[in-house]
């Protein structure tokens, strides 16, 4: 078994510091691991796992920093902040893997490193703080803090979810901390479900066919997608079951005119093209250049031919396409994405409560645009991967209250009913997929 060394504190401190500036953080990690000659080695795997644990625990680690040094970590020297985060992870949370270490040596090596890369004063400060970290005992003050430490979620988020879900909230928190299965969707323009199942079974995977979307398959990770010939040929794509259900609910048909308002990186766009058997047109909008690039690659790889891409704010879609032109509109709105926390450990400390209102306003404006685009009897699916009511039922209710040219179309038979009748919600703790909300609306005139 690998034994953590003093140098590993330094390497991870450097990764965290670089990750402040370089995004995505995997690039920062790669650069530093390359510098220390550990890229691709077993040390790489171990330190990568520790790095992700730090990211998942970041809010709790920062609380300890506040306790120990008395100020918010964001106002500390960035090198010191990174070193303290790593030290807390190793000495408070990974005690059993670091008890063999000579703590005096760790303290000296890291302090010397900090003095070199920044200022001797910073090294000294670390040296003095070290003991308080090594002897720190993590004890929750109240029930919310117990949940915060146990499930690694911000206190405000815990309070809000308890308000929404009551006792059940703890089940959701547990689900956020379970390793999710890999979920893929077969591209029926290029392959059959059987072909992909056989391929995965030959690779030793136990495959489960989704009971909600029959072209979705699930299996335990890890899985190296780049090494899979079928994946590279676009015969299947990575997509969560809850995400794949969106296109099925909207039900675009061959030769229809479809608008995908927030399309990149294209998971739903290509699924809709598939359901349309590559006939008709999909106008796909997004503002994010990088995500649109990924979308172009995906479209090509999957053999999709009917997508027209617009790099622009979808709230201007009517100016480009005109009113009442669409049979179907997909609005997979930008959202806090908290329904995906189990897949994205870094996200939990980045979601900001004060952002919810701002994002709900954008969702409301996009939904109004989507309805303006619809022909009479045309349909729009409003969906998000957020669990907050403010981004889901509240947005739909607001629009329904203000407009008399649109009505809800009942959705049933999938997952659970939402907090607004005839809408649907997928919950990670109940349905073994990401959190999702769906409302289907129809233009009446
Ligand atoms: C939930 S993601 C879409 C995922 C995509 N539908 C899929 O299935 O792969 C939301 C997208 O909305 C985009 N977005 C945010 N604000 C936008 C705006 N004003 N107009 C168009 N797209 C926007 C983001 O760049 C992001 O790609």
Atom of ligand 1 nearest to the CA of 337: 1
Separation of CA 207 and ligand 1 centre (Å): 30
Phi and psi for 259 in degrees, rounded to 5? -120, 130
Q: Does residue 190 belong to any structural domain of this protein?
A: yes
Q: Are residues 53 and 116 in the same domain?
A: yes
Q: Best substitution site from 286, 302, 329, 330 to test ligand 1's pocket, by max atoms within 8 Å of Cβ?
A: 286
Q: pLDDT, tens digit, for every residue of 343-354?
A: 988 899 999 999
Q: pLDDT, tens digit, for every residue of 173-204?
A: 999 999 999 999 999 999 999 999 999 999 99
Q: pLDDT, tens digit, for every residue of 45-87?
A: 999 999 999 999 999 999 999 999 999 999 999 999 999 999 9
Ligand 1: residues with CB < 6 A are 243, 262-268, 285-288, 291, 313-315, 332, 334
Q: Does residue 366 belong to any structural domain of this protein?
A: yes
| Rounded Cα–Cα distance for residues 201 and 218 (Å) | 12
**What would the mean pLDDT of 90-119 be, rounded to a whole number?**
95
- Please tell me whether 313 is known to bind a ligand: yes
Atom of ligand 1 nearest to the CA of 264: 27
Q: Best substitution site from 248, 287, 383 to test ligand 1's pocket, by max atoms within 8 Å of Cβ?
A: 287
Q: Are residues 206 and 268 in the same domain?
A: no
pLDDT at 344: 87
Name the one residue in this structure whose structure tokens are 């479809």.
258
- Please tell me whether 383 is known to bind a ligand: no
- Please tell me whether 263 is known to bind a ligand: yes
CATH number at residue 89: 1.10.940.10
Q: Are residues 220 and 245 in the same domain?
A: no
Task: Among 201, 221, 238, identify where a domain stops.
Answer: 238
Name the one residue in this structure whose structure tokens are 């299996």.
219
| Predicted model pTM | 0.92
CATH number at residue 193: 3.30.70.1170
Q: Are residues 126 and 162 in the same domain?
A: no
Separation of CA 216 and ligand 1 centre (Å): 22
Q: Does residue 1 belong to any structural domain of this protein?
A: no
> With contact defined as beta carbons under 8 Å apart, do 174 and 158 qualify?
no
For residues 16-52, one letter each, b for 16 or more C-beta atoms within 10 angstroms of the residue's C-beta and e for the rest, the string is bbbbeebeebeebbbebbeebebeeeebbebbbebbe
Q: Are residues 30 and 62 in the same domain?
A: yes
| Rounded Cα–Cα distance for residues 150 and 166 (Å) | 18
- Residue 332: CB atoms within 10 Å: 25
Q: Residue 408 region, left (φ>0) first, then alpha (ψ -120 to 50), else beta?
A: beta
CA distances from 172 to 88, 154, 167, 401 (A): 27, 14, 10, 31
Q: Is residue 250 exposed (0-12), middle (13-18) or buried (19+ Cβ within 10 Å)?
A: buried
| Rounded Cα–Cα distance for residues 1 and 13 (Å) | 23
Q: Are residues 35 and 116 in the same domain?
A: yes
Separation of CA 330 and ligand 1 centre (Å): 11
**What is the percent of the chain where pLDDT is above 90?**
96
> With contact defined as beta carbons under 8 Å apart, do 385 and 428 qualify?
no
- Please tell me whether 234 is known to bind a ligand: no
Q: pLDDT, tens digit, for every residue of 220-255?
A: 998 999 899 999 999 999 999 999 999 999 999 999
Q: Is the pLDDT of residue 1 over 90?
A: no
**CA-wise closest residue to 87 among 129, 148, 145:** 129
Name the one residue in this structure whose structure tokens are 């100016």.
319
Q: Are residues 245 and 233 in the same domain?
A: no
- Provide the residue range defining the domain that includes 212: 184-238
Q: Does residue 227 belong to any structural domain of this protein?
A: yes
Residue 313 in tokens: 């704010």
pLDDT at 346: 80
Q: Is residue 358 exposed (0-12), middle (13-18) or buried (19+ Cβ within 10 Å)?
A: exposed
Task: Among 124, 155, 176, identify where a domain stops.
Answer: 176
Phi and psi for 401 in degrees, rounded to 5? -70, -35
The yes-or-no answer on residue 335 being catalytic is no
CA–chain centroid gap for 207, Å, is: 23
CA–chain centroid gap for 60, Å, is: 20
| Complex confidence, ipTM | 0.99
- Identify the three-state secondary structure at position 142: coil
User: Which residue is closest in CA terms to ligand 1's atom 7?
Assistant: 267
pLDDT at 322: 98
Separation of CA 262 and ligand 1 centre (Å): 4
Q: Does residue 116 belong to any structural domain of this protein?
A: yes
- Please tell me whether 96 is known to bind a ligand: no
Q: Are residues 89 and 226 in the same domain?
A: no
- Identify the three-state secondary structure at position 277: coil
Q: pLDDT, tens digit, for every residue of 107-151?
A: 999 999 999 999 999 999 999 999 999 999 999 999 999 999 999
Residue 59 in tokens: 């809010």
Q: pLDDT, tens digit, for every residue of 357-401?
A: 999 999 999 999 999 999 999 999 999 999 999 999 999 999 999
Count of the separate structural domains present in the chain: 4
Q: Are residues 198 and 76 in the same domain?
A: no
User: Which residue is closest in CA terms to ligand 1's atom 2?
Assistant: 334
For 38-43, which contacts have Cβ atoms below 8 Å and span 24 or more sequence positions?
A: 38/11, 42/2, 43/2, 43/8
Name the one residue in this structure whose structure tokens are 């003093």.
6
Q: Are residues 284 and 407 in the same domain?
A: yes
> With contact defined as beta carbons under 8 Å apart, do 311 and 283 qualify?
no
- Identify the three-state secondary structure at position 119: coil
Q: Does residue 345 belong to any structural domain of this protein?
A: yes
**Beta-bridge partners for 311:** 286
Q: Are residues 252 and 206 in the same domain?
A: no
DSSP letters, 279-347, are -SEEEEEES-HHHHHHHHHHHHHHT---EEEEES-GGGHHHHH-SS-EEEEEEE-----GGGTTT-TTG
Q: Are residues 159 and 225 in the same domain?
A: no
CATH number at residue 343: 3.40.50.150
pLDDT at 85: 98
Q: Name the strands in the sheet holding 236-238, side by side, starting at the edge strand that comes first in the sequence.
A: 208-209, 216-219, 182-186, 236-238
């Amino acid at each position: 078994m690998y034994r953590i060394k003093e140098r590993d504190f330094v390497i991870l401190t450097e990764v965290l510091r670089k990750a402040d500036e370089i995004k995505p953080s995997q690039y920062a990690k790669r650069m530093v691991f390359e510098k220390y000659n550990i890229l691709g080695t077993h040390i790489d795997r171990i330190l990568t796992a520790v790095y992700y644990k730090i990211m998942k625990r970041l809010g709790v680690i920062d609380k300890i920093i506040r306790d120990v040094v008395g100020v918010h970590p964001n106002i500390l020297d960035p090198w010191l902040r990174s070193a303290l985060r790593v030290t807390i992870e190793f000495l408070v949370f990974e005690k059993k893997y670091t008890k063999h270490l000579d703590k005096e040596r760790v303290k000296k090596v890291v302090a010397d490193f900090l003095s070199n890369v920044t200022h001797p004063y910073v090294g000294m400060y670390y040296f003095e703080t070290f003991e308080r970290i090594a002897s720190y005992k993590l004890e929750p003050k109240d029930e919310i803090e117990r949940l915060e430490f146990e499930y690694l979620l911000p206190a405000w988020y815990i309070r809000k979810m308890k308000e929404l879900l009551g006792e059940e909230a703890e089940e959701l928190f547990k689900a956020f901390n379970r390793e999710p299965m890999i979920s893929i969707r077969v591209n029926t323009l290029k392959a059959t479900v059987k072909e992909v199942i056989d391929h995965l079974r030959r690779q030793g995977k136990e495959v489960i066919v989704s009971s909600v979307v029959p072209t979705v398959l699930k299996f335990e990770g890890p899985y190296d997608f780049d090494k899979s010939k079928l994946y590279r040929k676009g015969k299947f794509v990575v997509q969560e079951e809850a995400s794949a259900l969106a296109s099925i609910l909207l039900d675009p048909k061959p030769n229809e005119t479809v608008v995908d308002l927030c399309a990149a990186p294209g998971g739903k766009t290509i699924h809709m093209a598939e359901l349309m058997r590559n006939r008709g047109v999909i106008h796909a909008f997004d503002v994010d250049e990088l995500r649109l690039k990924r979308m172009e690659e995906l479209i090509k790889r999957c053999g999709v031919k009917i997508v027209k891409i617009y790099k622009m704010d979808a709230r201007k879609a009517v100016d480009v396409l005109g009113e009442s032109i669409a049979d179907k509109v997909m609005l997979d709105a930008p959202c806090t994405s908290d329904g995906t926390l189990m897949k994205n450990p870094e996200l939990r400390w980045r979601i900001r409560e004060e952002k919810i209102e701002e994002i709900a306003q954008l969702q409301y404006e996009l939904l109004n645009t989507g309805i303006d685009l619809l022909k009479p009897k045309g349909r729009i699916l409003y969906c998000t991967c957020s669990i907050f009511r403010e981004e889901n039922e509240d947005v739909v209710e607001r629009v329904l209250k203000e407009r008399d040219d649109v009505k809800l179309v009942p959705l049933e038979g999938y997952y659970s009913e939402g907090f607004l009748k005839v809408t649907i919600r997928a919950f990670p703790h109940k349905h073994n997929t990401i959190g999702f909300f769906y409302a289907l609306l129809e233009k009446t005139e």
